[in-house]
Structure 1
Amino acid sequence: MTQSIQTDDRRLQPYLGTLQKIVSEMGPQRPFQSTLKSLLHTLAENHDFKRPHIVIFDPETRTLKLSLTDTPAKAQNAEYEPGVGVTGQVFASGQPVVVPCMKEHPAFLNKMFGRSEEELATLAFICVPVLGPSDEPREGREVIGTLSVDTPNTSHAQLEAHCRFLEVVAGMIANHAAYMQEEMARQKHLMTQGLIVGDTGEGTFNPANIVVASKTMRLVLNQAAQVGPSRATALLRGESGTGKELLAEAIHQASPRRDMPLIKLNCAALPSELVESELFGYQKGAFTGAIQTKKGLFELAHKGTLFLDEVGELSPSAQAKVLRAIQEQEIQRLGSEQTILVDVRLICATHQPLEELVEKGLFREDLYYRINVFPIFIPPLRERREDILPIAEHFLRMYAEEYSKSIKRISTPAIDLLTQYHWPGNIRELKNCIERAVLVCDEQVIRTYHMPPSLQTAESTATDTNLSFCEAVAKFEQELLVDALKKARGNMLQAARDLRVSYRIVNYKVKKYGLDAKKFAVAKARGMK
């Protein structure tokens, strides 16, 4: 009996190792699509699985479409109807199917990968359903797609074990697959509006300098893509530093006016008496110091876009004139009675609660309804922590290049600092934080002590009063050792050279802290393939 249990443990060990790796790769900072691609690669690498792929159901066309694969498919646009082929049967029934030999199974269609006759005779096929996320029992959950692999012909028991393992994996990716289905629907909607081209997702609305990973920000970009082609006034809401100006640029680039000027004005940056002259211009002699006629921003933005940041700061007089410019599409320069026709698309932004300002009589109600045609709310960074690491890495690359630093990455403890901080200044504060870290860093890795004091905590700097001096030193020592092993791809001899200590010491410390040097070699090898 004991021998049987040990044998089962040995059989399960590869599956458990793979599941542990999948769990570690499904962190909240990872975009869902890259997570799924990494998962498929892990299945191919850790087991003798070939062509792992995910097929998702498109509710609009009522067909199953190849969505992600670790192996290039000869028929990327291959589709299945529910009930047709093995994949269609699995989707329709919600039950897994094991095909011991592809060539001998009448329902196996071989539409996606163009397998050779030899492969059809020597490969088995396993397909399991992917159910939608739900708290209901399995029987009540909707099938949204399938997860499939090719594997060499083997015993029935081994194929059944593979099948049960893949069912577990399919359950783990339920949320990610649901996001993929939503993304397919979004792409279809944008294609019908002419905002993207092609069927493969190439050329999607992907504004420059906007890095997103979270679902909420993808919805924000979706809204920007929807309003971009129109001339409707967009009102961008959100805290300071969330990227309202960048989103305004993206909306302008998505519009037919993209080749015309995008003129910007921060209404809070100028005294109220100067804002009107900036917006509408003035005639020579209109006031003391007006020695020549000046065009206003409305004129400069003719046929283009005018972005008014902090629009809640406009004076009552300026509000009345902006309202007239929107309604009548004409302005008057200060000191002139002549009207000038202007064709301007307006984008406004504010961090203030305009509704409260309207109630207090500080903001015109009619102007509020004029600019609130298409509101877009940008959530603060603390509410979309999945975006923190990708944005930080973007700024790291940017400033490392600007300051000629050979910094490669951000250490894990430093990442923890970034993701745990509440970021009252949002992306602007994160940008400043990374710039400072790059400036003070003289290594190839950003560490916790390179971060500004506002991010530091007793725990992160290993000065927590609960830690003894030896414990604090050990914590820092372990971090250095892990970084050296990552850099050396698990080679302890090279790690010893980099740390300028003997191999014996590195070997002792690895055992002391219970580290597995091999996993660093595997992680690097996977990244290189």
Structure 2
Amino acid sequence: MTECMPFLNTLKQVLSELDPQSPLQTGLQRLLDIIAANHGYERLSLAIFDPQTATLQFHLNYGDDAAADVRYAPGQGISGQVLASGSPSIIPRMADNPEFLNRAFGRPPDELAACAFICVPILLPSSAEEGKSQETIGVLSADLATAPKEKLEEHCRFLETLAGIIARQAAHLQDELARREQWQRLGLLHQDGDLLQVDTEEIIAFSKTMGMVLQQIYQVAPSRATVLLRGESGTGKELLAEAIHRASPRRDKPCIKLNCAALPADLLESELFGHEKGAFTGAVSAKKGRFEMAHEGTLFLDEIGELSAEAQAKLLRAIQEGEIQRLGSERPIKVDVRLVCATHRPLEMLLEDGSFREDLYYRINVFPVFIPSLRERRDDIIPLTEHFLSYFAREYQKSIKRVSSPAIDLLVQYHWPGNVRELRNCIERAVLLCNEDVIRTYHLPPSLQTAESSATDTDLSFGEAVARFEQELLVEALKKTKGNMLQAARNLRASYRIINYKVKKYGIDVKRISGKK
């Protein structure tokens, strides 16, 4: 039993380190570092199966970095064999096994002669149906000093247990890799692998619904087809229009934007098509319109449902003929423009009341993309929150590390009528108000704490509200000290007696918080 204690202690540490709010790759890398350091592994690697290429890709490592372009097909090398069979493999000495290919890390001969290799599958239950086998989504492998067979088998069982613990995280990592490949095809990644930014904001898409939207954009972007982005205000239509442009052959040409609702009708036509000198009072010089400025590029028309009847007729001619006329001019100007339109209004109802032209509707509705509201893509709320928190903490030079669990609950439960734009404003406000290293519920706007926004009863008395606030402070303080009530009392500038009394009063499970239960 004594020999098993190091393994058990590591398992307890791993379980305490698994934080669903921490960034996925950062958390998994931290686990690899802990495991390797505790047990003296020369190298510890997590490789994920990529369904798109049907290969195994080394993704996270402790020790030397793997060669980025090295992949194993199922059955190829020891790692590929474990992937294909779903069974672990123990190589007592790497140099003695001809099937050990040594491609990913290029180990020197003396290391091959001195080290063993253990590789275990990362398995997920594929179905509850009887007789269905588990799905292998990757492998976990370790380099360690050669040892007797019994000792290596102990390490193998330990690694199998770890693989089971991190299986769900590895599955999420597999999904994330698939999304990043999709973003790569869309032209949304820098060469260093970071997401491209548009006006300081990123496209954050972890939900399946937004994944489908990105897939549609990937399909339509290389073409000339007119795209109609439909969705509520604040859902990110402008960001997606930028993504379409960047993923198109016109990416090196201008992407010009115009909000049709931001200008009165008499100025809108001038903005779209330009004007000649003297065309109207105040036209002291000739001016290019947005169509001319977007020549050979992309023109994004937001809120297209707000166009006047006259502007609609001229826009239809520009789309059909590929030419425009400036106000005050008889001379047509040829333009080559890819059009992306957006609206939050129900255009079909505008057709019925005659305020939107039917022929124009069919011209712009070639490839409609429906963008879900934030309440329909709740999987994106936490990643978006983390992104906005990181951005505004840098912007306002605050050392805020995270959002508390109760505050996360409010954010996830809220119905977000203003969508991503409202969430962004909410986090900016919270960062400005927060003078701690954690954003708490009282930093969030009152609108998030109404009965409509929460699944819990928020019609609280003053005493009940104070009690809830006390509970949150206590739980956060105990989390920070890993259940040490004396240290928590010092941090809260209260006596141990008061903290002990409050813990008992609210029934707070200190053992669970400390990870000792």
Is this a same-fold pair by TM over 0.5? yes
Alignment counterpart, residue 380 of structure 2, candidates 381, 387, 409: 387
Residue 437, structure 1, aligned to residue 433, structure 2: no
Query: Does structure 2 retain, via aligned residues, the 8 Å contact 1:86–1:127?
Result: no
Task: Measure, in 2, the Cα distance between the counterparts of 1:46 and 1:509.
Answer: 37
Q: What is the CA deviation profile of residues 324-370 of structure 1, one whole-angstrom value per residue up to 9, with x for unaligned ones?
A: 21222211123332212223332211123334544665433443343
Which region of structure 1 is more displaced relative to structure 2, 346-355 or 423-432?
A: 346-355
Hey, what does 1:206 align to over in structure 2?
196
- Which amino acid is the alignment partner of residue 86 of structure 1? I
CA gap of 1:381–1:46, structure 2 versus 1, over 3 A, is: farther
Q: What is the CA deviation profile of residues 453-508 of structure 1, one whole-angstrom value per residue up to 9, with x for unaligned ones?
A: 11014798999578994x76554334324444566788877654442235676677
Hey, what does 1:307 align to over in structure 2?
300
Q: What is the CA deviation profile of residues 57-111 of structure 1, one whole-angstrom value per residue up to 9, with x for unaligned ones?
A: 4556554332333443343333333323221222222323234554554533333
Residue 277, structure 1, aligned to residue 262, structure 2: no
Alignment counterpart, residue 96 of structure 1, candidates 88, 101, 104: 88
SS in 1 for 2:494: coil
Task: Measure, in 2, the Cα distance between the counterparts of 1:487 and 1:167.
Answer: 28
- Which amino acid is the alignment partner of residue 89 of structure 1? Q
Give the alignment of 1:408-487 within 5 angstroms: 408-457=401-450, 469=463, 473=466, 475-484=468-477
Hey, what does 2:44 align to over in structure 1?
52
Residue 64, structure 1, aligned to residue 56, structure 2: yes
Q: How many residues align?
A: 506
Task: Measure, in 2, the Cα distance between the counterparts of 1:387 and 1:428.
Answer: 13
Task: Measure, in 1, the Cα distance between the counterparts of 2:45 and 2:311.
Answer: 58
How far apart are residue 415 of structure 1 and its match? 1.8
- Which amino acid is the alignment partner of residue 453 of structure 1? P
Hey, what does 1:336 align to over in structure 2?
329
Give the alignment of 1:183-262 within 5 angstroms: 183=179, 186=182, 190=185, 202-203=192-193, 206-208=196-198, 209-216=201-208, 217-221=210-214, 223-224=216-217, 227-228=220-221, 230-255=223-248, 257-258=250-251, 260-262=253-255
SS in 2 for 1:436: helix
How far apart are residue 426 of structure 1 and its match? 0.5
SS in 1 for 2:119: strand
Give the alignment of 1:350-365 within 5 angstroms: 350-358=343-351, 361-365=354-358
Task: Measure, in 1, the Cα distance between the counterparts of 2:483 and 2:63.
Answer: 27
Residue 77, structure 1, aligned to residue 44, structure 2: no
Task: Measure, in 2, the Cα distance between the counterparts of 1:60 and 1:434.
Answer: 36
CA gap of 1:45–1:416, structure 2 versus 1, over 3 A, is: farther
Hey, what does 1:3 align to over in structure 2?
none
How far apart are residue 242 of structure 1 and its match? 0.9
Q: What is the CA deviation profile of residues 256-296 of structure 1, one whole-angstrom value per residue up to 9, with x for unaligned ones?
A: 55555433222223333442233123345545665654432
SS in 1 for 2:361: helix
Query: Does structure 2 retain, via aligned residues, the 8 Å contact 1:485–1:492?
Result: yes
Task: Measure, in 2, the Cα distance between the counterparts of 1:296 and 1:62.
Answer: 49
Hey, what does 1:113 align to over in structure 2?
105
Is there any run of 5+ residues in structure 1 with no aligned partner, and where? 1-5, 523-529
Is there any run of 5+ residues in structure 2 with no aligned partner, and where? none
Hey, what does 1:525 align to over in structure 2?
none
RMSD: 4.3
Query: Does structure 1 retain, via aligned residues, the 8 Å contact 2:187–2:246?
Result: no
Alignment counterpart, residue 162 of structure 1, candidates 158, 172, 177: 158
What TM-score do you get using the length of structure 1 for normalisation?
A: 0.78
How far apart are residue 224 of structure 1 and its match? 4.3
CA gap of 1:196–1:7, structure 2 versus 1, over 3 A, is: closer
Q: What is the CA deviation profile of residues 132-191 of structure 1, one whole-angstrom value per residue up to 9, with x for unaligned ones?
A: 84444564455443233345645366245325414523653464255256347647x82x
Hey, what does 1:321 align to over in structure 2?
314
Hey, what does 2:508 align to over in structure 1?
513
Task: Measure, in 1, the Cα distance between the counterparts of 2:457 and 2:347.
Answer: 45
Hey, what does 2:175 align to over in structure 1?
179
CA gap of 1:181–1:213, structure 2 versus 1, over 3 A, is: closer
